[in-house]
Structure 1
Amino acid sequence: MAEEERAPLLTSEAGDSTQTRNRKRPNLFPTEPVRSNAVCADDRIFVNATVTSPSEIEPDLIVAIFVVAFDTRSGNMIEWCMPDDAELDGVEFKAMVSGSHTQIKDFVYFRKDNLYGLACFENMPVESDIERGARMKSVGILATSYTLLYRHLQFLETQVRHQLEIPGKYTQLQAFYEDKTSAALASLQVQSKSNTPTTPSKDLIPELKITHPAGCFTQFAKFFGEQIFILWKYILLEKRILFFSPPPIGVVCYRVYCACCLANHDIRGLGKKIKPQFYVNVADIETLESEMTYIACTTEKIFESKTSLYDVYVDNQIVRTHSPILKELLKTSSADKEKFQKLNNLRSAHQFSYEELGEESIDEEEVFVSYFHELNNRLFQTLLDVANSQDTQLTSDHMKSMGLDPQGDRQFLMELVEHYGIDVVLMVDNPCCPK
């Protein structure tokens, strides 16, 4: 026997399935734009800007540079910034995160309104009673896109050490800002004359590009294990996901980014690309209250009790939710275990093929990003194909072809088709009534 469960009618027009792109190393100057890439090394998230032809390279749209210091009487404060009238309210608590005093060094990605920031923090011991034996500062920048920030990490690391050793000397920071803004203005003028768009499409969200042998996605998968597919389901359902961890926060910022990449697909009309919020603190509560979907991280434990702000709370490796329906998705299905094993097998196979060629390492985005990209394409395209068929019946065979467990993933699939408004009839085998 089988019972029927129907989801609402699809309201968005879906496009045709798209073949998987060639994932070999791209030509740096192709005639057509290529998607953005990310680079991780030593637990640091770097994101390459979209690359087009030489005349279409996106300018460095840096809008502010700043120094944050910890004052024993006033707390975090903006010590210096450029331009002088930059709107930096609250940045001092993002660039120097809660609990950072326990660290020697750290870095953080964050969002302020429609801008993205990167700051490098360092804590240096000093023989000073006024500073209570420690001098702590952060040097950071704000830009219009997080895809450009990675370029300046090393500079910011150098400058925060400089600010600790020789406080009050801002000449290099000022020269950096003036150089970047003048270069951006010149690029904008050239593009304006050539009628070339100054920024890539908002729909183009960077993919993960890993060049370090122990890259971001490998660490992400090893850290969460099979639970990566629990996160995958919540992300496809566009839930509000908050990662918590004590400092250092830099490593958690890349977890946010990796999580965003789990939802990549090419099926038009289904969902929006998720932009990472990165680090958030109590000052962001009002912003988070208005977000329908987000992925963020925090070092502030107080968020755990504010369950209205999130759907899923990830405390290091522990994934929790207060929603009764979402709790049913916390258990990994047999299909999840199979997918995780396949993911590991794919990586091993790629590693072996590279070793045969004498290569030292592999571009692991060819394994991880491509895997989830293809998995999501197959899942959504199958659902749309069934919805457009005459009987609209989704069978166990369909679920298996999508990489799902007909029993263990039934609730997830019901939530998915309801969330996206895909009109299918889910044929669920009743174990009490054999066929």
Structure 2
Amino acid sequence: MVEQSDRARLLDWEEIPPPVPSQAVPSSPVKKNATEKTSPPDGRTQGSSAPRTGWGTASTRGPNVTAVVSSGDGRPPRLRVDHSVPGWDIAKSLGADHIGLSVKEQWEEKDQIVAVFVVTFDTRSGNMVEWSLPQDMDLDGVEFKSIASGSHRITSDFIYFRKGCYFGLACFANIPVESELERGARMKSVGILSPSYTLLYRYMQFLENQVRLQLRCPGQYSPLEAFYEDKKAILPPLANGQVTSCPTWSVTNISRCMHPEMKITHPAGCMSQFIRFFGEQIMVLWKFALLRKRILIFSPPPVGVVCYRVYCCCCLSNVSLLGVGAAVPELRPFFYVNIADITALRTELSYVACTTEKIFEEKKELYDVYVDNQNVKTHRSDLQPLLRLNASDKEKYAKLSEQRQMLLYSQEVEGDCSSNEEDLFILFFMELNDRIFQILGEVAASSEPILTAEHVRAMGLDPQGDRSFLVDLLEVYGIDVMLVIDNPCCP
């Protein structure tokens, strides 16, 4: 069966091979061509039930254009964008390049594939780049990112990763073969690179099909060649080598319900799986993410679902108020990392990444927070208090769970498909973060910039249990207020 491209109807790069049989396939030599390269190992919902002091007023940081529209029947509130806010110009916020374009054209991401490649495991040389386009692309290291450490134990996987200023997606597969030369197993991965991770999900099925084709018929590169010619990017010069970070949530992002940024792979239930997996520990991760800490998640293969956790963790720190966090490090998703990334990680001030290599746990200079499955821990004594859940944390998690249940009920019983769990999850934490920074901004701009216990409660935080979190938050974001909270142990 052939699925034709919507960009070039004469190209049949999406050739879908028949299903791979479960039994071993005959040995087939890997076809090497002149371009072969080898590399050496190297919605908007309420965040809590706390009083909403100051939450309805305009932000001191910029226009507040979102609103919560209550359904009046107990269901989760829905997101509404107020396009009548004085001074808000959608063309201006989009930039001059978008003026004159339709809404669909403004938000439709263009194909930006900068490289396509095939990685194979060779019993003598290890992981190696078997084939790639374009031929002059630097792909050093992708052979280890595309086949994660420990993948020989699984039959298939997908991996998000970073390569310099690009993001990559690779699909891996492992089948038994009747070959002593290949030691009874053939392992390959087919991947792509792009300047942005938000469009990589479009090609997941194609990459899965192609890796199966490469396993059954090694050396059949024509579909990949046609794919690259159809989708290759025409990119402007890079500005200072900057990497596309986790989406910055502005009014324009919100107005289109956060698609496609939020759906990096369109996984069914990605956010709900994240919530079920970590439970109340999400509130601990939320604090570390908002403080822009270096977060490393360990898990054995498969690594695809762990890449989802990296993404979801980045989403915990979204803020829609203009100007907030402009001077703090961006929380960058590194996705999968291995020992070849150690040098790069040493220079990062803030990131979220995942790995299958246990040796990272010993390299404490590379991270602030280490997540081993559901166990969140830190070796830094100043961050230890943030590991303890307080009453406000549990209240916020209970509120999130309640809203999820109401959403699921409305979808199942009433057939309401206007909202989904991903939107609910994003908006829950964004409103929580917005509330915190709006109140902090109002206090900082007041004649007496003193943060009291009443202010802290209005943020949905615990005046005592979240004291160290607030101290760190004020320091990280450079907010000049005085924190005055009485010690309950003293008269």
Alpha-carbon distance between aligned partners in 1 of 2:406 and 2:156, rounded to the nearest angstrom: 37
CA displacement at 1:222 relative to structure 2: 1.0
Alpha-carbon distance between aligned partners in 1 of 2:451 and 2:107, rounded to the nearest angstrom: 45
1:152 and 2:203 are equivalent in the alignment: yes
Q: 1:366 aligns with which of 393, 407, 423?
A: 423
CA displacement at 1:274 relative to structure 2: 2.4
CA displacement at 1:53 relative to structure 2: 2.9
1:269 corresponds in structure 2 to 323
1:325 and 2:382 are equivalent in the alignment: yes
1:57 corresponds in structure 2 to 108
After the TM superposition, which residues 16-55 of structure 1 pair with which residues of structure 2 at under 5 Å, given as runs?
16=62, 18-20=64-66, 52-54=103-105
CA displacement at 1:58 relative to structure 2: 3.0
CA contact (8 A) 1:32 1:52 kept: no
SS at match of 1:428: coil
Alpha-carbon distance between aligned partners in 2 of 1:313 and 1:289, rounded to the nearest angstrom: 15
CA displacement at 1:350 relative to structure 2: 1.9
Q: Once the two structures are aligned, what percentage of the paired residues are identical?
A: 58
Alpha-carbon distance between aligned partners in 2 of 1:300 and 1:14, rounded to the nearest angstrom: 45
Write out per-residue CA displacement over residues 354-399 of structure 1, whole angstroms, 9 at most, x where no aligned residue.
3342347951123211110100000011111111112212111111
1:78 and 2:129 are equivalent in the alignment: yes
Which protein has greater RCO, CA pairs closer than 8 Å, 6+ apart? Answer: 1
Alpha-carbon distance between aligned partners in 1 of 2:110 and 2:460, rounded to the nearest angstrom: 41
Q: What RMSD in Å do the two structures reach over aligned CA positions?
A: 2.8
Indicate how the Cα distance of structure 1 residues 212 and 415 shifts in structure 2: closer, same or farther if over 3 A, else same: same
CA contact (8 A) 1:209 1:364 kept: no
2:141 corresponds in structure 1 to 90
SS at match of 1:62: coil
Query: What code does the residue aligned with 2:203 have?
Result: H
Greater mean deviation of Cα atoms: 53-62 or 137-146: 53-62
Point out where structure 2 has 5 or more consecutive residues left out of the alignment: 1-58, 69-77, 82-88, 94-101, 237-243
1:253 and 2:304 are equivalent in the alignment: no
Alpha-carbon distance between aligned partners in 2 of 1:351 and 1:326, rounded to the nearest angstrom: 36
CA contact (8 A) 1:100 1:247 kept: yes
Alpha-carbon distance between aligned partners in 1 of 2:397 and 2:107, rounded to the nearest angstrom: 39
1:417 corresponds in structure 2 to 474
Give the TM-score of the pair, scaled to structure 1.
Answer: 0.83
Q: 1:404 aligns with which of 447, 461, 473?
A: 461
CA contact (8 A) 1:333 1:405 kept: yes
Indicate how the Cα distance of structure 1 residues 137 and 214 shifts in structure 2: closer, same or farther if over 3 A, else same: closer
1:216 and 2:270 are equivalent in the alignment: yes
Alpha-carbon distance between aligned partners in 1 of 2:348 and 2:266, rounded to the nearest angstrom: 34
Write out per-residue CA displacement over residues 205-238 of structure 1, whole angstroms, 9 at most, x where no aligned residue.
8653599896111111111111101111011111
Alpha-carbon distance between aligned partners in 1 of 2:104 and 2:67, rounded to the nearest angstrom: 19
Indicate how the Cα distance of structure 1 residues 226 and 202 shifts in structure 2: closer, same or farther if over 3 A, else same: closer
CA displacement at 1:296 relative to structure 2: 0.6
Give the TM-score of the pair, scaled to structure 2.
Answer: 0.74
CA displacement at 1:18 relative to structure 2: 2.0
2:153 corresponds in structure 1 to 102
The structure where helix makes up a greater share of residues is 1
CA contact (8 A) 2:61 2:441 kept: no
Alpha-carbon distance between aligned partners in 2 of 1:165 and 1:301, rounded to the nearest angstrom: 33
CA contact (8 A) 1:95 1:138 kept: yes
Query: What code does the residue aligned with 1:430 have?
Result: N
Indicate how the Cα distance of structure 1 residues 213 and 53 shifts in structure 2: closer, same or farther if over 3 A, else same: closer
Greater mean deviation of Cα atoms: 334-343 or 353-362: 353-362
CA contact (8 A) 2:202 2:265 kept: no
1:234 corresponds in structure 2 to 288
CA displacement at 1:273 relative to structure 2: 4.3
Indicate how the Cα distance of structure 1 residues 360 and 254 shifts in structure 2: closer, same or farther if over 3 A, else same: same
Query: What code does the residue aligned with 1:403 have?
Result: G
Indicate how the Cα distance of structure 1 residues 363 and 285 shifts in structure 2: closer, same or farther if over 3 A, else same: same
2:406 corresponds in structure 1 to 349
SS at match of 1:142: strand
Indicate how the Cα distance of structure 1 residues 99 and 213 shifts in structure 2: closer, same or farther if over 3 A, else same: closer
Query: What code does the residue aligned with 2:298 have?
Result: F
CA displacement at 1:52 relative to structure 2: 4.3
Indicate how the Cα distance of structure 1 residues 56 and 337 shifts in structure 2: closer, same or farther if over 3 A, else same: closer
1:7 corresponds in structure 2 to none
Query: What code does the residue aligned with 1:239 have?
Result: K
Alpha-carbon distance between aligned partners in 2 of 1:233 and 1:200, rounded to the nearest angstrom: 19
Alpha-carbon distance between aligned partners in 2 of 1:211 and 1:150, rounded to the nearest angstrom: 4
CA displacement at 1:107 relative to structure 2: 0.3
CA contact (8 A) 1:351 1:362 kept: no
Query: What code does the residue aligned with 2:293 have?
Result: K
CA contact (8 A) 2:61 2:324 kept: no
CA displacement at 1:202 relative to structure 2: 7.7
Greater mean deviation of Cα atoms: 77-86 or 148-157: 77-86
CA contact (8 A) 1:121 1:160 kept: yes
Q: 2:117 aligns with which of 66, 69, 82?
A: 66
Query: What code does the residue aligned with 1:15 have?
Result: R
Aligned residues: 389
Alpha-carbon distance between aligned partners in 1 of 2:391 and 2:346, rounded to the nearest angstrom: 35
Alpha-carbon distance between aligned partners in 2 of 1:426 and 1:346, rounded to the nearest angstrom: 32
Write out per-residue CA displacement over residues 30-55 of structure 1, whole angstroms, 9 at most, x where no aligned residue.
x968x9xxxxxxxxxxxxxxx94337
1:281 and 2:338 are equivalent in the alignment: yes
After the TM superposition, which residues 88-237 of structure 1 pair with which residues of structure 2 at under 5 Å, given as runs?
88-181=139-232, 184-185=233-234, 203=248, 207-209=261-263, 215-237=269-291
CA contact (8 A) 2:297 2:372 kept: yes
